[in-house]
Chains A and B, each alone.
Chain A
Amino acid sequence: MRCEAASGTATDPAISPAVGPATWGAGVTGSSLSAGSRPPGAPRSGPSNITTGLCSQALWPTRVRHLRPGPYSLRVDLVTTTVTVVLVLAALAVGAWSMVTGSSTITAGEVWAALGGRADAGTTRIVVQWRLPRVVFALLAGAALAIAGAIFQSITRNPLGSPDIIGFSTGAYTGALLVSVLGWTSVWATPTGALLGGLGTGAVVYLFARRVGRSGIRLVIVGIGVSVLLGAVNTYLLTVMRLEQAIAAASWGAGSLNDVGWVQVWPVLAALVLAAGLLALFARGMALLEMGDDAAQSIGINAERTRVVLLVAAVALVAVVTAAAGPIAFVALAAPQLAMRLCGASQVQAVPAAAVGALLLVGSDLVARAALAPLQLPVGIVTMCLGGAYLVWLLLGLGRRSRT
């Protein structure tokens, strides 16, 4: 494709023939020539003949569009946007399906009436107090876990970097078990224990990984090691508990939405709003940091601050979800990678990941409730099945890539 010369260079007839795809060769060769012909120490008037070629040729892949409303400008990726919208609609549809699924048969019309406050007290109670918070929580918590996973994976530059793998979830479980063994039985006991356990483990893993260097793979390896150790502690704690305590603890440890009400929804919503604000400011830096600290800092990213702010946001997101519903496995691990592949993107991105996470968790919860009804499975069992399959697929993919 031949381009038209533009800008200041177009006025110079000697240059314009070299504009376009051939510019590289013309400009460079010309420069090297002049270096060769100039005697040492001679004044250099050397104007370069590298040209500023401007042409109407489309630079961007067709999926990228730029919009400039007024003084503002933004870049839109059509594929990513479409995929995200479809995923959000799918998640909402599954959520709606979930609203009409359950042990008591309630039709869509009745659900609608209950939401509008026009149904009888019993139906309203089931719909508004039981089913709705559960569905809303599943959507929000799935999104929260997925965003946290995207942040962990981006910062560690590793698809295995997720709160599951680096020990946060196991640590939260340890905290909850310890509280139970110590006999603290307030309503807040388990969430508090989980929160402290998770944050403590996260901090220990981060500090250990920092001591041996900040590379992402170290965070993952140290996390796996700590996770295994805490797994042993958890098993031991379960064996020294009373039977009914142990059953309750194990059920919590699988991650379950069975007891979720509006009380649990608000902290997750608050954390999501906070994270959304921080991501608006720091998501670009997160993407740029994946090129390496030096490259990112050279274009004006404050690497350390970006990393710390994002990690705090990610830990807060996981913490509120885990405190409310126990460690729900694999959503954080799988959602960002699935979203990336669905969008055909080159990096994990928080927003599409959130959409996948919401769909995954609300779908898993529907399966958990309906698969063996009237028996309700903990949702963590379903996500773990999905996650195990995903992990095998991921590792097979990695294996294939390393062989070729």
Chain B
Amino acid sequence: MSRSEKTTSRVTPALASTIASSVVAQQTAQPLAQQTAKPQAPASSVQGFASGASTANGSDLPGLLTRQLSVGYGDRSVLDALDVSIHPGSFTVIIGPNACGKSTLLRALARLLSPRGGQVLLDGRDIAHTPAKELARRVGMLPQTSTAPEGIAVVDLVSRGRHPYQGLLRRWSSEDEHAVRSALADTGLTEFASRAVDELSGGQRQRVWIAMALAQQTPVLLLDEPTTYLDIAHQIEVMDLCQAMNRRGRTLVAVLHDLNQAARYATDLIAVRDGRVIAQGHPDQVVTAEVVHTVFGVRARVIEDPESGRPMVIPRYIPAPLMSAVAITDADTNAS
């Protein structure tokens, strides 16, 4: 059990006792796809992707993809004729420098921005013409900043994720209740349900917003920098929760700043710079010294993360005055 000891060192000690049974559960439990019964067969999609069958040519596949997508604000064009595809069942992470258009891409996928040109297709249909509630039953979004009304109870906020299923005379069905209970349980918030959101810590508050998106029960969930402003322990909590959601069949698309987090958790990476996709694929292929340099302008070594076996980026330590004088060879950058 040396592995679990290593892991417990970075989680709260109180949780350690449950880990052993979790390992057994990993080996015996069947995929729990109950929350995403409708559009796809999630578990098989996940495996299909991992076994390399995911390179199929876009549009017949269910899933989310953009075709020649152009988005801009005012005079400024941010994305220009972008083609990306989000494979069903994947945990896709979009990386790139500040202002490269990664949040814009995510917001366009959620139809929070309307494109100037091109389309966002969900299961082959342009989302521009999908009614708001219908879209909200299929694509969820965790925005970067949201405001919880002062004093609102956790369960009240989480229950708002059920809005796309509610109508004038159908305000709170038993399915709504069930979805909210599950979302609270999955995020470990059941005991906080009737507490006010503003009494919680930052990490707990982020879990409340995630629970709201979970209650929405969408097959696709978009997350805009879900770990920003959180300390390392809460970042890990949130990323682990995302991974668990993904494994239960949700397609996840996240914008992340931390390359190593992206490499560790993603099944699919999209590297964006200046509104263009530089690389897309499995982290093993995308996270290379060349791509890191092209996308971020940072010289780095890429080694194998001893924990996850995924690539890990270590920026080169080059004292500033000497920076221009140092030549970096391919042999150096491929040290791993």
Where the two chains meet, the residues of A that have a C-beta atom closer than 8 Å to any C-beta of B are 1, 3, 7-9, 12, 14-15, 17-55, 57-61, 64, 66, 68, 71-75, 157, 280-281, 284, 287-288, 290-295, 297-302, 344, 346-347
Report if B186 contacts A (CB, 8 A).
yes
Q: Is the CB of A299 within 8 A of B194?
A: no
Give bound CA distance, A298 to B212, whole Å. 11
Give bound CA distance, A284 to B14, whole Å. 40
- 10 pairs from A and B in contact (CB 8 Å cutoff): A24-B237, A47-B247, A48-B31, A50-B32, A55-B190, A73-B171, A291-B146, A298-B143, A300-B163, A302-B132
Q: Is the CB of A31 within 8 A of B244?
A: yes
What is the 8 Å Cβ interface bit string for chain B, positions 1-29, against chain A (1 contact, 0 not)? 00110111001101110110111111011
**Closest A-B pairs by Cβ, 5 of them:** A24-B188, A30-B22, A25-B15, A300-B136, A53-B185
Give bound CA distance, A59 to B156, whole Å. 9
Cβ contact of B160, chosen from A41, A54, A288, cutoff 8 A: A288
Interface residue SS majority, chain B: helix
Give bound CA distance, A141 to B28, whole Å. 66
Where the two chains meet, the residues of B that have a C-beta atom closer than 8 Å to any C-beta of A are 3-4, 6-8, 11-12, 14-16, 18-19, 21-26, 28-32, 34-35, 43, 46-47, 50-51, 107, 110-112, 132-137, 140-153, 155-156, 160-161, 163-164, 166, 168-174, 176-178, 180-182, 184-191, 193-194, 207, 209, 212-213, 216, 236-237, 240-241, 243-245, 247-248, 264-265, 267, 282-284, 307-310
Q: Is the CB of A47 within 8 A of B110?
A: no
Q: Is the CB of B22 within 8 A of A347?
A: no
Give bound CA distance, A404 to B241, whole Å. 34
Q: Is the CB of B186 within 8 A of A49?
A: no
Q: Is the CB of A26 within 8 A of B143?
A: no
Q: Is the CB of A35 within 8 A of B264?
A: yes
Q: How far is the CB of A57 from chain B (nearest CB, A)?
A: 6
Contacts of A25 in B (CB 8 A): 11-12, 14-15, 18, 188
Q: Is the CB of A295 within 8 A of B146?
A: yes
Contacts of A34 in B (CB 8 A): 26
Q: How far is the CB of A22 from chain B (nearest CB, A)?
A: 6
Give bound CA distance, A64 to B111, whole Å. 34
Contacts of A58 in B (CB 8 A): 194
Contacts of B29 in A (CB 8 A): 12, 14-15, 47-49
**Chain B, Cβ-Cβ closest to A37:** B3
Inter-chain CB contacts under 8 Å: number = 290
Cβ contact of A299, chosen from B3, B28, B161, cutoff 8 A: B161
Q: How far is the CB of B234 from chain A (nearest CB, A)?
A: 11
Cβ contact of B22, chosen from A21, A27, A36, cutoff 8 A: A27
Cβ contact of B181, chosen from A15, A59, A75, A297, cutoff 8 A: A59
Q: Is the CB of A74 within 8 A of B171?
A: yes
Give bound CA distance, A37 to B7, whole Å. 11
CB contact under 8 A between A47 and B309, given known A1-B191, A61-B153, A298-B141: no
Contacts of A41 in B (CB 8 A): 282, 284
Interface residue SS majority, chain A: loop
CB contact under 8 A between A51 and B244, given known A43-B47, A157-B147, A299-B216: no
**Chain B, Cβ-Cβ closest to A49:** B25
Give bound CA distance, A347 to B157, whole Å. 12
Q: Considering residues A34, A290, A298, which has the most beta carbons from chain B within 10 angstroms of its beta carbon?
A: A298
Q: Is the CB of A68 within 8 A of B173?
A: yes
Cβ contact of B191, chosen from A15, A21, A60, cutoff 8 A: A21
Cβ contact of B194, chosen from A8, A21, A38, A61, cutoff 8 A: A61
Q: Is the CB of B153 within 8 A of A47?
A: no
**Chain A, Cβ-Cβ closest to B150:** A346
Contacts of B132 in A (CB 8 A): 297, 300-302
Give bound CA distance, A291 to B146, whole Å. 5
Q: Is the CB of A40 within 8 A of B18?
A: no
Cβ contact of A12, chosen from B25, B141, B180, cutoff 8 A: B25
Q: Considering residues A18, A48, A61, A71, which has the most beta carbons from chain B within 10 angstroms of its beta carbon?
A: A48
Contacts of B283 in A (CB 8 A): 40
Q: Is the CB of B26 within 8 A of A47?
A: yes
**Chain A, Cβ-Cβ closest to B165:** A300
CB contact under 8 A between A35 and B265, given known A18-B21, A23-B186, A302-B132: yes
Give bound CA distance, A300 to B236, whole Å. 30
CB contact under 8 A between A26 and B22, given known A54-B185, A291-B146, A301-B132: yes
Give bound CA distance, A297 to B50, whole Å. 33
Q: Is the CB of B244 within 8 A of A28?
A: yes
Q: Is the CB of A40 within 8 A of B284?
A: yes
Give bound CA distance, A7 to B169, whole Å. 27
Q: How far is the CB of A353 from chain B (nearest CB, A)?
A: 15
CB contact under 8 A between A292 and B47, given known A29-B240, A280-B168, A346-B152: no
Contacts of A37 in B (CB 8 A): 3
Give bound CA distance, A297 to B212, whole Å. 13
Q: Considering residues A59, A75, A157, which has the most beta carbons from chain B within 10 angstroms of its beta carbon?
A: A59
Cβ contact of A33, chosen from B26, B133, B155, B194, cutoff 8 A: B26
